[in-house]
Amino acid sequence: MEIIRVENLGKTYKIQKNNQGFIKSFTSLIKKEWEQKVALDNINFTINKGDIVGYIGPNGAGKSTTIKILAGILHPSVGQVLVNGIVPYKERIKNARRIALVTGQRTNLFWDLPIIDTFNLMKRVYKIPQDKFKKNLDMLTDIIGVGEFINTPARQLSLGQRMRADIVAVMLHDPDIVYLDEPTIGLDVVAKDSVRNFFKAINEQKNTTIILTSHDLEDIERLCNRVIVIDNGKLVYSGDIKHLMSQYGNEICTLCITVEDDTEDFEIDGCDIERNLNKLKLKFNRNSATPPVILNRLLERGIKVVDFTLNEPCLEDTIKVIYGSKEVGEPIHK
C-alpha cells in the first residue's frame, strides 16, 4: 500500500549573493543581490507502507529539504506531496499526529529533568490515552532498554542513552511514518547497533514506514530494503540495494598487491594501476576481468607477488562512484 507519493517535487531557495571584496560588502547593504539555488529538482518517488527506505546523497544534496517537506515543515516551490493521503505542509498539525522526526544531532528532551517527564509531556502533546501510553512505554522500554535511566535527568546521560531516550519520546504515539535524520551520528558501535535493531524491530512489529538518511552506509545496508539516491537536487537512483550495486558497483574491484622491490613498471589490459613503491593498487572491472586472470597475467610476466588482498565493491564504493560521476560529467543512469 502506498503511503508517500512525491510528484515533480522542486524547491528553490533564494539566497543572498556572497559578495567578495571590501567595497562590494558595503554596496550589498543597500542593494541586495539574490540568486536562486535549486535544492530539489523534479523529484518523483513513492514509498509503500512498511518500507524501510534509505535516502542518501552527499552533503547539500537536498536530503534534509525533502524530509522537511514530507514532515510539513517546508513548502515546496513546485510539485505535489501526499503523505497518508494528506498534503503535509497544508495540514501540518494533522500530519504531525502520524509522523515522528528524529534528528541525530538534536535532542527534544528536557535537559534538566528526568526523561520520564519528557515522556509525560509527549503524552499530553500527542494526546495519548493512558493505557496506550503505558503499553507503548513498556514495549519501547523493553526493546531499547531505557528503563534503568528513566529517572535520570537528560544532562547526565551518555550520547547513546540520550539518543535512545529521544527515540522513545517520539515513538510513544505510534507514528505511521518515522523520518530519521542521521540517527546514529556520533554513537559508538554498540549504541549504533541498538538503534538499528530497535527500528528493525519496530518495523516488524508495527509495520512502521521508516525513511532514513545517514552518512553511515552500514545503517543503510543493515536496515533498508530500498534506497533512493539524490545528488545535487536530482533523483539519481531509486530501487533495491542489490540492483544499485550491480548497476554501479560491479565496475570497481580493487586488488592490492605487494611486489618485490626491484619490479619494473608494467601494464595489464583493463586494469588501472596505481603504484606506490612496492605496493600496487589494481582497479578493474568485474565484467571484463577476474582476479584469477589478473594474477595469472602477473605470474606470466614473472612478477613476484609477496602479498595480496582483494576488495570487493561495497555500498560505500558504489556511492562514491555515483557522487563522483557528476564531477567528470558522465551521464547519470536511472
Partner 1 sequence: MFLHLMVLNIKARMQYGRSFIYDMFTQIMVYVFEILIVWILLSRFELPGGWGFNEVLFLFGLGYFARAVECAFVWDPMLKMSDYVKEGTLDKFLTAPVNTFVYLIGTDFSVWPLAHVFFSLIVTIFAGGSIGVTWTAANIFWVSLAAIGGAFIYTAFIILGGALAFWIIKSQVLIWMFVDTISLINYPVSIYPKAIQYILSYVIPIALANYFPTVFILNKGNINSLSMTLIFLVGFLLFCISYRFWWFGLKRYQSAGN
Least CB distance to partner 1 at residue 252 (A): 36
Whole-number Å distance between alpha carbons of 155 and 90: 36
Q: Output 97 or 326, the one with its CB closest to partner 1.
A: 97
272 forms beta bridges with 283
Footprint on residues 57-116 left by partner 1 (CB under 8 A): 65, 68, 71-75, 89, 92-94, 96-97, 99-101, 103, 106, 108, 110-113
Q: How far apart are CA 22 and CA 302, in angstroms?
A: 64
Residues in the interface with partner 1 (CB under 8 A) total 35
Judged by CB, which is closer to partner 1: 117, or 251?
117
Contact range with partner 1 by CB under 8 A, out of 8-16, 283-291, 308-316, 322-330:
8-16
Q: For residue 108, how many other CB atoms are within 10 A of its CB?
A: 15
Report, in Å, the least distance between residue 175 CB and partner 1.
Answer: 10
Per CB under 8 A, does 45 bind partner 1?
no
Output the smallest distance, CB 118 to partner 1, in A.
Answer: 8
208 forms part of the interface with partner 1 (CB under 8 A):
no
CB atoms within 10 A of CB 14: 9
Between CA 287 and CA 297 the distance in angstroms is: 17
Binding mask 227-256 for partner 1 (x = CB under 8 A): ------------------------------
Closer residue to partner 1 in complex, CB, 82/293: 82
Q: Is 4 in the site for partner 1 (CB under 8 A)?
A: no
Nearest to partner 1 of 199, 284 (CB atom): 199
CA distance 251 to 317: 10
DSSP codes, 174-196: --SEEEEESTTTT--HHHHHHHH
For partner 1, give the closer residue by CB, 58 or 114.
114
**174 lies in the binding site for partner 1 (CB under 8 A):** no
CB of 169 to partner 1, least distance (A): 11
Residue 13 contacts partner 1 per CB under 8 A = yes
In DSSP notation, 99-150 reads EEEEETT---S-TTSBHHHHHHHHHHHTT--HHHHHHHHHHHHHHH--GGGT
First to last CA, the chain: 24
Residues 151-163: b if buried by 16+ CB within 10 A, e if exposed: ebebeebeebbbb
Cβ closer to partner 1: 49 or 97?
97
Nearer to partner 1 among residue 105 and residue 287 (C-beta): 105
Compare residues 76 and 249 and give the one whose CB is closer to partner 1: 76
Distance CA 332, CA 233 (A): 13
The residues in 131-160 that bind partner 1, with binding defined as CB under 8 A, are 153
What is the DSSP secondary-structure string of 28-67? HHHS--EEEEEEEEEEEEEEETT-EEEEE-STTSSHHHHH
User: Residue 143, by phi and psi: left (phi above 0), alpha (psi -120 to 50) or beta?
Assistant: alpha
Of positions 38, 125, 293, 295, contacts partner 1 by CB under 8 A: 125
The nearer residue to partner 1, 24 or 106, going by C-beta atoms, is: 106
- The residues of the shown chain that bind partner 1, judged by CB under 8 A, are 11, 13-14, 39, 65, 68, 71-75, 89, 92-94, 96-97, 99-101, 103, 106, 108, 110-113, 117, 120-121, 124-127, 153
